[in-house]
Amino acid sequence: MVEAGLLVKPPTRRADIEALENVRRLRPQAILLNLPENIEEVLNDYSRGKLDYEEFIDSLYEKLPEPKGAWIKEFEVFLRELPSIGELADIYCYTDTESFNQEVSTSIEVALLTIRGIIREKVEVKEWINVLKKSVLREAEKWSREFSKILDIARSYDRVICISGFEGKYIKRRLDDFGVKSWIRYLDQPYHFTPLEILKRLILLDRVDEELFGKLIKEHIRFLKEYIYRMPYTEAVEKWVRERLYWLPVRRQKPD
C-alpha cells in the first residue's frame, strides 16, 4: 500500500539536520521538497554524482533570483548530503515556478515596506495588510495546484517522503481525502513563529486587527534589525525561537 510521510520543517538549521536524519532512517523511494520545480533536474544530477558540489551550487544559482543563496539556505545541510541518498531515492520539487516568482515578488515588497518603516519610523499598516493578503491568497491557490503533483508522485511509489513548510497539514488532509495512507511529523519542536509568519496566519484565519498588526510589523522590523542583519537566516530564526522559548532546557546543536 502507498505510504506518504510529511516532514514539516521550519526554517532552522536543526530542522534541516532532522529532515536529513529522518530520510536516511526511513529510506523512501522518492523525496518531495518545497523548492521550485525549475531546480529539480539540477538536484537529481547532483544526487546521482553527475555534478560536484561547486558545479551544483553554480547550476542552482543560474536558476534562482537574487539573493540566490537565500532561497536554499534552510535546506543547506540536506542539499549538501544529497549524493548520500540520491542513489536510493528520486528527488522532486513541488513548488511551481510561477508561485515561486510571486513569492520572490512579495519578499521584495515586504523588504521595501520594511525599509520605509525604518527610514520614516512609521508603519504603513494598510499597505502591509494589502501586500500580505495578496500573498496569503496566492498561497492558498498554489497549494491546490501543487497538490496534484504531490498526489501523482505519491501514487507512483510505495514509500514517499514530502518535506514541506507549514502547508504540510493541508497536504496530509488532502492525501487522506484521496485514500493515500499518510502520517505527519513536525521537526525541531517546539517552534515559535516569527512575526511575519504570525501575520500571515492571522490573515489566513481572517483575524485582521490593525492595532495588533501594527505591533507585529514593528516586531518584524526589530527581528530583521537585531537578528537577520547580524547572522545567517537559519541561525537568526533559531536564536529568535530560543529566546522566545527561554523556559526550555538549552539544546545542544547537532553536528553535521
The tens digit of pLDDT for each residue in 209-245 reads 999 999 999 999 988 888 888 888 888 888 888 888 7
Provide, rounded to the nearest whole percent, the portion of the chain with pLDDT above 70.
Answer: 95
The tens digit of pLDDT for each residue in 206-215 reads 898 999 999 9
> What's the pLDDT at 236?
85
Q: Starting from the edge strand earliest in sequence, which strands make up the sheet with 181-186, in order?
A: 90-95, 30-36, 159-164, 3-8, 181-186
Domains of the chain: 3-244 (3.40.50)
The tens digit of pLDDT for each residue in 128-142 reads 999 999 888 887 778
- pTM, whole model, 2 decimals? 0.86
The tens digit of pLDDT for each residue in 47-81 reads 999 999 999 999 999 998 887 888 888 899 999 99
Which parts of 121-255 fold into alpha helices (H)? 125-154, 168-177, 195-204, 210-226, 233-244
Omega cis (within 30) before 195: no
- Closest C-alpha to 4, from 177, 161, 167, 187: 161
Backbone angles phi, psi at 16, to 5 degrees: -60, -45
- Of residues 39 and 140, more confidence is placed in 39
> What's the pLDDT at 247?
55
Side-chain half-sphere CA neighbours of 36 within 13 A: 18
Omega cis (within 30) before 83: no
